[in-house]
Amino acid sequence: MKQIKTCWFVFLVFLCAIFLFGCGDSGLSKGKAKDILESHLKDYYGFLLPQKVEFMGGTVNSYNFILAAKDMGLIDANSTSSIFGSLGVKSYIEKPKLGDVFSITLTEKGNSTQHLIYANKGICFLVGNRKINDIVEIKKGENDQYTVLFSYTLNYNKLGKELSSLAQKKGAKPLNDDLKLRGKAIIVYDPFLKKYIAKSIMWSKWENENWQPQSWTTYVNDKLVLMSQ
């Protein structure tokens, strides 16, 4: 009788092993999805400041935030080209002239403030955090690809609030703190890494569905980088 029980036990263990290896990955749960999204979205690097600013007649993106960051001692803005430079006329970022080009660089204070360089195009400071509120829906597609709909809240830290407040005084639009937003992510299972990874993350206003690329952090070759796709 004891031998029979032992044989049944070994047989059951064998069946469980076949079942587990046959099934492979068990699927993306809401808990796994939330952990993945929080790892990429927890830290919010925003207020992209371009490293090169050209005044060629159009509107310069983030101009008010450039002035705010300069006033706070985070960046320097040095003239690299000017139509009137040959005439001995100096150019200043506060009062630019048509044709002026400025280089935006970090000061010692800015360099010591937590920041990331985005795709060699601009400087983003750590200005807030994002909290995942709810995984609304998970849809499985082909090749272990999942579309994840979720809601999250964006809050600004002390630096973010200071930059925003100063930029508003210079003409920027007010930014809402404790802002609730929609999110949509594409998450896939990588059989080589044996884990789920995010391929893209997008955001939309809470009131309506209008998806736009969302910046998010990830590690590439053990280096933290900013993504947007």
How far apart, in whole angstroms, are the C-alpha atoms of residue 149 and residue 106? 37
Domain extent listing, the chain: 28-228
**Taking Cα atoms as reference points, which of 47, 51, 171 lies closest to residue 101?**
51
Give the pLDDT mean for 14-28: 50
pLDDT tens-place string over residues 123-147: 999 999 999 999 999 999 988 899 9
pLDDT tens-place string over residues 94-128: 999 888 999 999 999 999 999 998 876 799 999 99
What is the pLDDT, as a whole number, of residue 23?
42
pLDDT tens-place string over residues 32-57: 999 999 999 999 999 999 999 999 87
What is the average pLDDT value for the chain, to the nearest integer?
87
What is the pLDDT, as a whole number, of residue 184?
98
Dihedral (C-alpha) 152, 157, 160, 163: value to the nearest 10 degrees? 150
How far apart, in whole angstroms, are the C-alpha atoms of residue 135 and residue 8? 42
